[in-house]
Amino acid sequence: MQALWVTLRVLLGVFGGYAISAASSAALALALSEWAGFERAESTVLCAMLGFGFYLFALLWAFTTPRLSRVALVLLGGSLMAYGVVRWLSPVALSAPVALRALVSLSPLATSIGS
């Protein structure tokens, strides 16, 4: 039984933490480029880098917070809120068909690394 709760916490921490980090990163990137005058590329890189830090914090928090219900509420609720902000700021961005089209094409591996 204990194993079940631990498994649930791990799943929530890993996936829920990722969800809130990714969604917040997207929301902030949009906000910075639309309202704060950042260039799109600059805003993207900044928020993606910050996203890793946010994810680390979310993971540490998820595994050291006593109440599992709070972990679920904050991570899942936060993800939904951040996603809501993304859709509100840009109805096109991250809508299902757009996201699916991007997922289908291969990862930008060649452009990410070195030369």
Partner 1 sequence: MSVLHTWVGVVLGAVLFAIFWMGTLSVFDREIDRWMMPETRLGPAPSVSLDAAARTATTLAAGAKQWSITLPSERTPTLQVRYPGPEGSVLRHVDPATGVALDDAGTLGGTGFIFPFHFTLHLEWLDLGLWLVGLCGMAMLVLVVSGVVIHRRIFRDFFMFRPDKALSRSSLDLHTGMGVLAMPFHFIMPLSGLIIFFSLFFPGTWHAAFQGDRAAFNRETFGSYSRPRANAPGTLGSLDAMAAEAERRWAGGKPFMARVLEAGDAASVVELRRSYANDVSMNRDAIYFDAASGEVLGRFESKPVGAVQRFIAGMHFVQFDHWLLRWLYFGGGLAGCVMIAAGFSFWLESRRAEHARRGWLGVRVVEALATGSVTGIVLATLAFFITNRALPASLTLAGFEREELEVLAFYAVWLTTFVHAAWRPRAAWGEQALAIAVAALLAPAANWLSTGDHPLRALARGAFAVAGMDVVLLAGAMVAAWAARRLIARPHARLELPALVAPSARPAESEAASG
**Phi/psi-derived region of residue 113, left when phi > 0, alpha when psi is between -120 and 50, beta in every other case:** beta
Least CB distance to partner 1 at residue 8 (A):
14
CA distances from 70 to 28, 83, 95, 107 (A): 24, 19, 28, 34
* Shortest distance, position 69 Cβ to partner 1, whole Å: 19
Regarding 99 and contact with partner 1 (CB under 8 A), the answer is yes
Q: Is 44 in the site for partner 1 (CB under 8 A)?
A: yes
The CA distance from 39 to 42, in Å, is: 5
Contacting positions for partner 1 (CB under 8 A): 14, 21-23, 25-27, 29-30, 33, 39-49, 51-52, 55-56, 59-60, 63-64, 86, 89-90, 92-94, 98-99, 101-103, 105, 107-109, 111-115
